[in-house]
């Protein structure tokens, strides 16, 4: 039988613990006397090792001796502890994990904004106690989804209040998901912050997968460590032979001898040295077992492989310490300095290091090369972004979700959109709302799109901007039809003109102004009144719900020339009018735009004429008298002859007056 041991890649110190331990060792190297506020990690062996180097453990700043440096461990402390340290004027090294510090900031801000803080986690765990200590307002701690539900029943008003919802960084991921379901249903005003540390979730996920494949699972870590106990629970649920051991002396020798597939993981506070000792001891047990002697060589190689990956592979968290134009330097909690070149920070050729990060930022990074001689670890951020981004793309495809990205290139047949660090091809037919729209207009613009095709093997994705635009349009249309009614006024934009009217976009829906509705005057083409791109005010004249057609009105009632006639041109008014047309029975003269009056042939002159053209011509200006208006039939009668008669009468009257005057003399 060939026994196989698999060590989880995520086993051992997490970034935060590693960073805190290194900070303590640095202080020891600097010959400082160190006091840690509580054990620096939940590992008795490690704590004893540090004690032997002179590190003392205190439970409050008041116990710190003069000339000592107090170290705040990765769990963090309440705000009041910082104040105590300050008031005592102590030297302090803050090793609070940046992820925990971020939760402190989040809850402090929530309290500032009068939001209630809901924390899921163990209220007696130092990390949760620290988080509570940064809430200056109302807060609650629940340990699982049952308590969360119970709280909503006990305090129903709470569910309607604004809430910030956070979790202990090492909280069980599956329990967190159950809590989220309740929050989404019950605490409808909650803002959710997923504060579970990815190191924790990755470690838990990997442990579960490994335990499922193993007939014996060994979890290394201190029994007082919360994340180690959670790892044990997770593994124990799927592998009934799961053992929690603190060191190699706890190994269940007889069980190991009979196991085929042994999985090993370790809590965040298990030092690499203890993990190595456990693996060495397992090797001895298996090599001393008669059934596995033949496999000694394979087993040693396997162990070597495991340790190699444990030491160098994969992703690390790094805190930005220094920024130069071409690279940034990060603390990854190891002896070597971490460096990320600008080209490994982003794909954006225009971005600068200062645009992308600031000192103190925590970054998720991929180790590309470890050079012990130079004391450098070369890292990449963009590759981690792309890995994470690809997961987002796959998830978005499964959920038909809308993604946001920036168009970075126009290529043959379409455009490239970069979203979450992943390049997505959008074919030209899917890039714009209508065919023929210029693709170049999209360059450097942020767009929303959906994934319509994906090749997981080749990591290729094809997207559609059009699908999102269409959905937006449909939604707008739906809203429009709900509120549209005859007489409602809209401001729209003229989209196109035809010989019979103008089409106007009135907010996602097109309506048509018939040519007769554009002007009170007779016009030959809509372009005499409006042009494409003009903003116009229109009103709904008619709606055809079945066909989805909307008829629009444009010309205004107060500009109606018949109203003008009624008010300003009563019968008897003498007007200057232009001859605009001739017929055998008379001539038409324009009184005002939109109203042409008829001068009957009998009214053109004070004598009989054969035809209107004998006296008049088109374009000629004449003076005429309004003799009749029929508002119903929209007809106006004019007379030149009456004016001539009036003139004659006036002249006759003038003559008579002057004759009388002469007689009197
Ligand atoms: S588990 Fe995560 S949050 Fe907690 S100390 Fe480690 S890295 Fe920081």
Position 197 scores a pLDDT of 86
Q: Determine which one of 49, 127, 479, 651 is catalytic.
A: 127
Q: What does the DSSP 8-state code read for residue 381?
A: S
Position 655 scores a pLDDT of 65
- Does 197 sit in the ligand 1 pocket, CB within 6 Å? yes
- Does 74 sit in the ligand 1 pocket, CB within 6 Å? yes
d(CA 23, CA 30): 11
- Does 43 sit in the ligand 1 pocket, CB within 6 Å? no
Position 372 scores a pLDDT of 59
CB 540 within 8 A of CB 486: yes
Q: How far is CA 365 from CA 74, 202, 362, 378, in A?
A: 20, 15, 9, 10
- Does 269 sit in the ligand 1 pocket, CB within 6 Å? no
At residue 523 the predicted structure's pLDDT band, cuts being 50, 70 and 90, is confident
Place of tokens 């549209």: 484
Mutate to test the pocket of ligand 1, among 122, 267, 268 (most ligand atoms within 8 A of CB): 268
> Which stretch of DSSP H or E encloses residue 591?
strand 586-592
Measuring from atom 2 of ligand 1, which residue has the nearest CA?
Answer: 197
Ligand 1 nearest-atom number relative to CA 197: 2
Going by C-alpha positions, the residue among 72, 163, 166, 73 that lies closest to residue 111 is: 163
Ligand 1 nearest-atom number relative to CA 200: 1
How many C-beta atoms lie closer than 10 Å to residue 67's C-beta? Answer: 9
Residue range 401-447, pLDDT digits in tens: 999 998 988 988 899 998 887 889 999 999 998 777 889 989 888 99
Length of the chain (residues): 665
Residue range 444-492, pLDDT digits in tens: 889 999 999 998 877 889 999 999 998 888 888 888 888 888 999 999 9
What contacts 24+ positions apart, CB below 8 Å, involve 397-406?
397/451, 397/454, 397/461, 400/450, 401/450, 402/448, 402/449, 402/450, 402/468, 403/448, 403/449, 403/450, 403/451, 403/463, 404/446, 404/447, 404/448, 405/446, 405/447, 405/449, 406/444, 406/445, 406/446, 406/447
d(CA 173, CA 158): 24
CB 451 within 8 A of CB 393: yes
Position 659 scores a pLDDT of 64
- Does 100 sit in the ligand 1 pocket, CB within 6 Å? yes
Q: How far is CA 202 from CA 8, 208, 220, 306, in A?
A: 10, 10, 16, 18
Ligand 1 nearest-atom number relative to CA 99: 3
Q: What is the mean pLDDT of residues 119-139?
A: 95
Position 133 scores a pLDDT of 96
Res. 513: pLDDT tops 90: yes
d(CA 234, CA 217): 11
d(CA 545, CA 488): 15
Going by C-alpha positions, the residue among 415, 417, 413 that lies closest to residue 403 is: 417
Which pair of structure tokens corresponds to residue 21?
């331990």
Tell me the CA–centroid distance for residue 334 and ligand 1, in Å. Answer: 15
d(CA 377, CA 382): 16
β-partners of residue 139 are 117
Going by C-alpha positions, the residue among 532, 423, 426, 412 that lies closest to residue 469 is: 426
- Does 14 sit in the ligand 1 pocket, CB within 6 Å? yes
Q: Could you give the maximum distance between any two Cα atoms of the chain, in Å?
A: 164
Q: What does the DSSP 8-state code read for residue 494?
A: E
Position 663 scores a pLDDT of 60
- Does 200 sit in the ligand 1 pocket, CB within 6 Å? yes
Q: What does the DSSP 8-state code read for residue 241?
A: S
Going by C-alpha positions, the residue among 270, 280, 313, 321 that lies closest to residue 42 is: 270
At residue 665 the predicted structure's pLDDT band, cuts being 50, 70 and 90, is low
How many C-beta atoms lie closer than 10 Å to residue 444's C-beta? Answer: 8
Single pTM value for the model: 0.49
Position 560 scores a pLDDT of 87
How many C-beta atoms lie closer than 10 Å to residue 4's C-beta? Answer: 17
Res. 292: pLDDT tops 60: no
Q: Is 421 exposed, middle or buried (0-12, 13-18, 19+ CB in 10 A)?
A: buried
Cα 130 to its chain centre, rounded Å, is 31
Q: Helix, strand, coil: what percent of the chain each, to 5?
A: 40, 30, 30
d(CA 637, CA 615): 18
Q: How far is CA 191 from CA 140, 160, 182, 198, 200, in A?
A: 15, 12, 13, 20, 22
CB 435 within 8 A of CB 423: no
Q: What does the DSSP 8-state code read for residue 136?
A: -
d(CA 585, CA 594): 21
Which pair of structure tokens corresponds to residue 194?
């997923």
CB 118 within 8 A of CB 155: no
Residue that wins the pLDDT comparison between 74 and 301: 74
Residue range 542-577, pLDDT digits in tens: 998 888 889 999 988 778 889 889 989 999 999 999
Cα 632 to its chain centre, rounded Å, is 61
Measuring from atom 7 of ligand 1, which residue has the nearest CA?
Answer: 16
d(CA 484, CA 548): 11
Which pair of structure tokens corresponds to residue 68?
């000592």
Q: Please give the torsion angle defined by the CA atoms of residues 129, 133, 139 and 140, in that order, rounded to the nearest 10 degrees.
A: 10
- Does 46 sit in the ligand 1 pocket, CB within 6 Å? no
Ligand 1 nearest-atom number relative to CA 170: 1
- Does 170 sit in the ligand 1 pocket, CB within 6 Å? yes
Complete DSSP assignment for 316-361: EEEEEEEE-SSEEEEE-SSSSEEEEEGGGT-S-TT--HHHH--TT-
Is 127 one of the catalytic residues? yes
Which pair of structure tokens corresponds to residue 456?
């997981």
d(CA 74, CA 61): 16
Place of tokens 């402090």: 108
Place of tokens 């012990």: 372
Q: What is the mean pLDDT of residues 508-516?
A: 91
Tell me the CA–centroid distance for residue 97 and ligand 1, in Å. Answer: 6
The set of residues, in sequence order, having a beta carbon less than 8 Å from that of 613 and lying 6+ positions away, is 582
Tell me the CA–centroid distance for residue 51 and ligand 1, in Å. Answer: 23
Among the residue ranges 48-52, 261-265, 447-451, 474-478, the one predicted with the least confidence is 474-478
Tell me the CA–centroid distance for residue 213 and ligand 1, in Å. Answer: 27
Q: How far is CA 38 from CA 235, 270, 397, 414, 421, in A?
A: 29, 17, 47, 59, 41
CB 175 within 8 A of CB 147: no
15-29 helix and 44-52 helix, angle to the nearest 10 degrees:
10
Which pair of structure tokens corresponds to residue 162?
């604004």
At residue 662 the predicted structure's pLDDT band, cuts being 50, 70 and 90, is low
Q: What is the mean pLDDT of residues 215-221?
A: 93
Which pair of structure tokens corresponds to residue 286?
């298996």
Q: What is the CA radius of gyration of the chain?
A: 43
SS3 sequence, 38-92? CCCCCCHHHHHHHHHCCCEEECCHHHCCCCEEEEECCCCCCHHHHHHHHHCCCEE
For strands 91-94 and 116-120, give the pairing: unpaired
> Which stretch of DSSP H or E encloses residue 120?
strand 116-120
Name all domains of the chain by residue range, CATH numbers in brackets.
Answer: 315-380 (2.40.50.140), 385-470 (2.40.50.140), 484-555 (2.40.50.140), 570-648 (2.40.50.140)
For strands 549-553 and 535-544, give the pairing: antiparallel
Residue range 317-372, pLDDT digits in tens: 888 988 998 899 998 877 678 899 998 898 776 788 998 999 888 888 888 887 75
What contacts 24+ positions apart, CB below 8 Å, involve 579-585?
579/616, 579/617, 579/618, 579/619, 579/620, 579/621, 579/622, 580/618, 581/618, 582/612, 582/613, 582/616, 582/618, 583/612, 584/611, 584/612
Tell me the CA–centroid distance for residue 17 and ligand 1, in Å. Answer: 7
Q: What is the mean pLDDT of residues 634-660?
A: 80
- Does 15 sit in the ligand 1 pocket, CB within 6 Å? yes
Q: Could you give the percent of the chain with pLDDT greater than 90?
A: 49
Q: Please give the torsion angle defined by the CA atoms of residues 565, 569, 570 and 576, in that order, rounded to the nearest 10 degrees.
A: -130
Tell me the CA–centroid distance for residue 316 and ligand 1, in Å. Answer: 12
């Amino acid at each position: 039988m060939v026994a196989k041991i698999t060590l989880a890649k995520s086993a051992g110190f997490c970034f935060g613990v590693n960073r805190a331990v290194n900070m303590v060792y640095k202080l020891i190297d600097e010959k400082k006397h160190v006091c840690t506020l509580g054990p620096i990690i939940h590992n008795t062996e490690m704590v004893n090792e540090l004690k032997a180097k002179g590190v003392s453990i205190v439970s409050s700043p008041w116990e710190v001796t003069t000339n000592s440096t107090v170290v705040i461990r990765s769990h963090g402390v309440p705000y009041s502890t910082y104040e105590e340290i300050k008031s005592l004027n102590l030297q302090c090294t803050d090793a609070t994990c940046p992820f925990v510090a971020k939760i402190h900031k989040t809850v402090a801000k929530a309290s500032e904004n009068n939001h209630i803080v809901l924390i899921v986690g163990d209220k007696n765990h130092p990390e949760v106690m620290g988080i509570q200590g940064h809430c200056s307002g109302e807060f609650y701690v629940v340990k699982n989804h049952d308590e969360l539900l119970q709280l909503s029943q006990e305090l129903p008003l709470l569910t309607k209040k604004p809430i910030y919802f956070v979790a202990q960084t090492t909280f069980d991921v599956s329990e967190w998901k159950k809590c989220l379901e309740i929050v989404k249903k019950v605490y409808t005003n909650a803002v959710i912050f997923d504060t579970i540390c990815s190191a924790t979730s990755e470690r838990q996920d990997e442990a579960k997968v490994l335990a499922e494949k193993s007939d014996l699972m060994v979890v290394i870590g201190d029994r007082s460590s919360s994340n180690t106990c959670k790892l044990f629970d997770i593994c124990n649920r799927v592998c009934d032979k799961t053992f929690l051991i603190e060191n190699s002396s706890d190994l269940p020798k007889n069980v190991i001898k009979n196991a085929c597939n042994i999985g090993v993981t370790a809590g965040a506070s298990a030092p690499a040295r203890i993990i190595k000792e456990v693996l060495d001891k397992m090797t001895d047990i298996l090599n001393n077992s008669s059934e596995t002697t033949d496999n000694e060589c394979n087993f040693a190689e396997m162990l070597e492989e495991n340790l190699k990956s444990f030491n160098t592979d994969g992703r690390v968290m790094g805190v930005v310490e220094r920024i130069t134009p071409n690279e940034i330097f990060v603390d990854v909690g190891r002896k070597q300095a971490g460096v990320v070149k600008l080209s490994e920070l982003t794909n954006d050729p225009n971005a600068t290091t200062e645009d992308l990060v600031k000192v103190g930022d925590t970054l998720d990074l991929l180790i590309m090369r470890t050079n012990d001689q130079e004391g450098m670890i070369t890292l990449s951020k963009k590759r981690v972004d792309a890995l994470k981004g690809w997961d987002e793309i796959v998830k978005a495809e499964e959920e038909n979700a809308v993604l946001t990205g920036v168009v970075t290139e126009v290529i043959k047949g379409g455009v490239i959109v970069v979203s979450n660090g992943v390049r997505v091809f959008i074919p030209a037919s899917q890039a714009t709302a209508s065919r023929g729209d210029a693709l170049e207009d999209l360059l450097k613009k942020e767009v929303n799109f959906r994934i319509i095709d994906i090749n997981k093997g080749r990591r290729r994705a094809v997207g559609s901007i059009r699908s999102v635009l269409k959905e937006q349009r449909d939604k707008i249309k739906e809203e429009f039809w709900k509120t549209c009614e005859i007489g409602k006024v809209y401001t729209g934009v003229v989209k196109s003109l035809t010989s019979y009217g103008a089409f106007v976009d009135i907010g996602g829906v097109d309506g048509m102004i018939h040519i007769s509705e554009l002007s009170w005057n007779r016009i030959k083409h809509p372009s005499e009144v409006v042009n494409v791109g003009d903003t116009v005010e229109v009103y709904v004249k008619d709606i055809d719900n079945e066909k989805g057609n909307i008829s629009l009105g444009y010309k205004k009632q107060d500009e109606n020339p018949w109203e003008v006639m009624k008010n300003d041109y009563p019968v008897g008014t003498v007007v200057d009018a232009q001859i605009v047309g001739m017929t055998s029975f008379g001539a038409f003269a324009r009184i005002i735009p939109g109203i042409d009056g008829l001068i009957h042939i009998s009214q053109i002159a004070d004598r009989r004429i054969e035809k209107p053209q004998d006296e008049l011509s088109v374009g000629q200006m004449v003076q005429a008298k309004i003799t009749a208006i029929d508002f119903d039939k929209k007809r106006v009668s004019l007379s030149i002859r009456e004016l001539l008669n009036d003139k004659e009468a006036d002249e006759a009257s003038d003559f008579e007056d002057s004759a009388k005057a002469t007689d009197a003399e």
